Amino acid sequence: MRSAALLFCAALLTFPSALLGQADPDAQVGVKEATMAWQAAWNAGNGAGIAALYAEDAVILPPGGDAVQGTEAIAAFWQAAIDASPGSKTALTQTELHNLGDVAVEVGSFVATAADGSHADHGKYLVLWMLKDGTWKLVRDIWNSSMPE
């Protein structure tokens, strides 16, 4: 009896990790499209377009700064970042996607290029997506540079 209980507990512990490795095809497509929309909005200088990809209660966790919550504040944050580096471009590369049904975790990298084409920054990000009314929305977003300070 005791070994059956231990086996059951072990199965419960390993089941979520097995799910983490499986990405639902719809999440693969939806999250990838949303990530590319984020990139396109940045490259177009559109902070409001970026913010539209976040859930209303989303939180971004920028390096060296306080958390920013809500789409209005997120739009202002991203527009200020865009305005501080006019003409810059960002390329995002998804390296992992873990789907848990209505929630997905994306890990990736970014490369930022200045308006003159020079390398401005590169680093990594981790974002949490939620499926809300059939659309993948960012709910948490954290990133950091890989360049030395």
One pLDDT digit (tens) per residue for the chain, 149 residues: 444 443 333 333 333 434 444 445 588 899 999 999 999 999 999 999 999 999 999 999 999 999 999 999 999 999 999 999 999 999 999 999 999 999 999 999 999 999 999 999 999 999 999 999 999 999 999 999 999 87
One-character DSSP codes across the chain? -HHHHHHHHHHHHHHHHHHHT---HHHHHHHHHHHHHHHHHHHTT-HHHHHTTEEEEEEEE-TTS--EESHHHHHHHHHHHHHHSTT-EEEEEEEEEEE-SSEEEEEEEEEEE-TTS-EEEEEEEEEEEEEETTEEEEEEEEEEE-S--
Q: What is the pLDDT of residue 25?
A: 54
pTM for the model: 0.82
CATH topology of domain 23-145: Nuclear Transport Factor 2; Chain: A, (3.10.450)
